């Protein structure tokens, strides 16, 4: 699948999909059309049930410079008109719909690996924070850019970063807009690994994706659901949900295949997840 914003490739044999931002001439900036295109692509993969892991990367020098600044100027200003109660209500609804586009990544049944090269700026950080895992090149940096243009980051960074990095670090990033380099990002847990260059990043992401795709997709989906629940709820509530979840997805046949593959040091043949009803 090709869109004006990204290239989407899917390997049905391995279950690994790759979504690559492909507007390097614009530093992979995001305009309003980007968000529903990304949401629809991720949901289509989830609906089909054949994707076991998604690698989200980019082309060019930077992962993403975030929202295109021309969104805030000229002919686009009517969409930002807050002059009346009705217009403010419409603005709120529109913003929630933008937020939901990144929620599609967080809510997908498969893990999403974000491979960052160069700058991960503003909306790019919102996008990366919605992913399960983040990897980056040695020249990568992360910044809450919105504070530099007099606005509050509003697409998920301020909500997700404090659950990824220490609270004080998230607040410093939000208040100063400082650039967090690759090694610092690794030390605070924002990324899982730092690779020397884009080629090494792609190879590492592919290897990690292959490891995940080789596991039971049912167990992976259940693990993601449980981890998200634990992130957003207290321990007692998350454990209560875990009991219900396990009763729903516990599968002896799946376990037998996994155990046999583990003992033989081979690969198990797992069925894909069920497609979602339309």
pLDDT digits (tens, 9 = 90+) for 33-88: 999 999 999 999 999 999 999 999 999 999 999 998 777 665 555 678 899 999 99
Q: Is residue 275 part of a domain?
A: no
**Cα–Cα distance for residue pair 251/64, rounded to 1 Å:** 41
147 within some domain: yes
Q: Note whether 111 and 188 are same-domain residues.
A: yes
- Looking at the structure, tell me whether residues 30 and 122 fall in a common domain: yes
> Are residue 145 and residue 197 in the same domain, yes or no?
yes
Q: Are residues 77 and 208 in the same domain?
A: yes
**What's residue 167's pLDDT?**
98
- The predicted pLDDT at position 76 comes to 55
Same domain? 224 vs 205: no
Provide the domain limits for residue 229: 217-264
Nearest-angstrom CA–CA distance, 242 and 221: 13
Whether residue 274 is contained in a domain is answered as no
Q: Is residue 1 part of a domain?
A: no
At 68 the pLDDT is 87
The pLDDT assigned to 74 comes to: 55
Point out the domain boundary residue: 213, 233, 253.
213
Do 224 and 111 belong to one domain?
no
* Residue 278 forms part of a structural domain: no
Tell whether 104 and 228 lie within a shared domain: no
* Torsion region of 44: left, alpha or beta (phi above 0 gives left; psi -120 to 50 gives alpha): alpha
**63: in domain:** yes
- Token pair for residue 128? 């990366």
Same domain flag for 111 and 240 = no
- What distance in Å separates the CA atoms of residue 90 and residue 29, rounded to the nearest whole number? 24
Do 113 and 224 share a domain, yes or no? no
Please indicate, yes or no, whether residues 75 and 188 belong to a single structural domain of this protein: yes
Q: Are strands 133-137 and 119-121 parallel, antiparallel or unpaired?
A: unpaired
Sign (positive/negative) of CA torsion 150, 152, 155, 159? positive
Residue 70 has a pLDDT of: 75
Look up the CATH number of the domain holding residue 120: 3.90.226.10
Which of the listed residues 191, 213, 235 is the one where a domain comes to its end?
213
pTM exceeds 0.85, yes or no: yes
Q: What's the confidence (pLDDT) of residue 1?
A: 73
Check whether residue 115 and residue 241 sit in a common domain: no
Tell me if 272 is assigned to some domain.
no
Number of domains in the chain: 2
Which residues, including other chains, have CB under 8 Å from residue 262's CB and lie 6 or more apart? none
pLDDT value of residue 6: 97
Residue 77 pLDDT: 56
Q: Which of 30, 221, 233, 11 is nearest to 127 (CA)?
A: 30
For residue 93, tell me if it sits in a domain: yes
Q: Tens of pLDDT along the chain (278 residues)?
A: 778 999 999 999 999 999 999 999 999 999 999 999 999 999 999 999 999 999 999 999 999 999 987 776 655 556 788 999 999 999 999 999 999 999 999 999 999 999 999 999 999 999 999 999 999 999 999 999 999 999 999 999 999 999 999 999 999 999 999 999 999 999 999 999 999 999 999 999 999 999 999 999 999 999 999 999 999 999 999 999 999 999 999 999 999 999 999 999 999 999 999 999 87
Q: Which of 170, 198, 213 is the last residue of a domain?
A: 213
pLDDT at residue number 18: 98
**Do both 183 and 226 map to the same domain?**
no
Neighbours of 197 (CB within 10 A): 11
């Amino acid at each position: 699948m090709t869109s004006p914003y990204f290239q989407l490739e899917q390997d049905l044999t391995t279950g690994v999909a790759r979504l690559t931002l492909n507007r390097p001439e614009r530093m992979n900036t995001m305009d309003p059309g980007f968000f529903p295109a990304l949401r629809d692509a991720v949901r289509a993969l989830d609906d089909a049930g054949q994707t076991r892991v998604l690698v989200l990367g980019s082309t060019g020098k930077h992962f993403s410079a975030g929202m295109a600044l021309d969104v805030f100027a000229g002919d686009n200003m009517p969409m930002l008109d807050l002059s009346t109660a009705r217009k403010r209500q419409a603005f709120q609804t529109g913003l929630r719909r933008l937020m939901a586009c990144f929620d599609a990544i967080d809510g997908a049944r498969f893990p999403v690996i974000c491979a960052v090269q160069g700058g991960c700026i503003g909306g790019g950080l919102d996008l990366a924070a919605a992913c399960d895992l983040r990897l980056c090149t040695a020249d990568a940096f992360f910044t809450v850019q919105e504070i530099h243009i007099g606005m509050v980051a509003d697409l998920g960074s301020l909500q997700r970063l404090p659950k990824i990095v220490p609270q004080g670090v998230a607040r410093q990033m939000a208040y100063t807009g400082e650039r967090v380099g690759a090694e610092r990002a690794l030390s605070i847990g924002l990324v899982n690994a730092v690779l020397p260059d884009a080629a090494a990043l792609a190879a590492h992401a592919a290897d990690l994706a292959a490891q995940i795709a080789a596991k039971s997709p049912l167990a992976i989906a259940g693990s993601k659901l449980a981890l998200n629940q634990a992130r957003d709820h207290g321990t007692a509530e998350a454990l209560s949900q875990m009991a219900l979840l396990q009763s729903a997805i516990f599968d002896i046949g799946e376990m037998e295949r996994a155990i046999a593959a583990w003992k033989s040091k081979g690969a198990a043949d797992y069925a894909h997840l069920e497609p979602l009803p339309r």
